[in-house]
Amino acid sequence: MNNNTLDLRDTSARFLQMYGVPSIGAWYDTEIDFLDCTWGKDQAGANKMLVMSMLSDVQEMVERGMNEEARQTLNRAKWTITNKL
């Protein structure tokens, strides 16, 4: 394998390619900790707000031609919906 090829067997590399972050769990924990300040123990409300915020970000990314970032953000939103709602 040459140095320019992404080794998708490495979990961090897969997450970076798919989600734009090396660890989806660590990313989620950071985001939800921030939202807990506002939403308190309403975990469902915080998760919904997180997804809505990401979808809003995707709209702006698409408008600016940031297609790869938009794709990764959509993947993070889908992960949140699938695993946390």
The angle that helices 67-84 and 24-39 make with each other, rounded to 10 degrees, is: 70
Asked whether residue 4 is domain-assigned, the answer is no
Helices (H), 1-66: 11-19, 24-39, 43-63
First and final CA of the chain: distance in angstroms? 39
Residue-wise pLDDT tens digits, 11-64: 888 889 999 999 999 999 999 888 877 777 788 888 999 999 999 999 999 999
Query: Coil, helix or strand for 42?
Result: coil
Asked whether residue 50 is domain-assigned, the answer is yes
Please tell me the total count of domains within the chain: 1
pLDDT confidence of residue 39: 72
Domain range for 56: 11-84
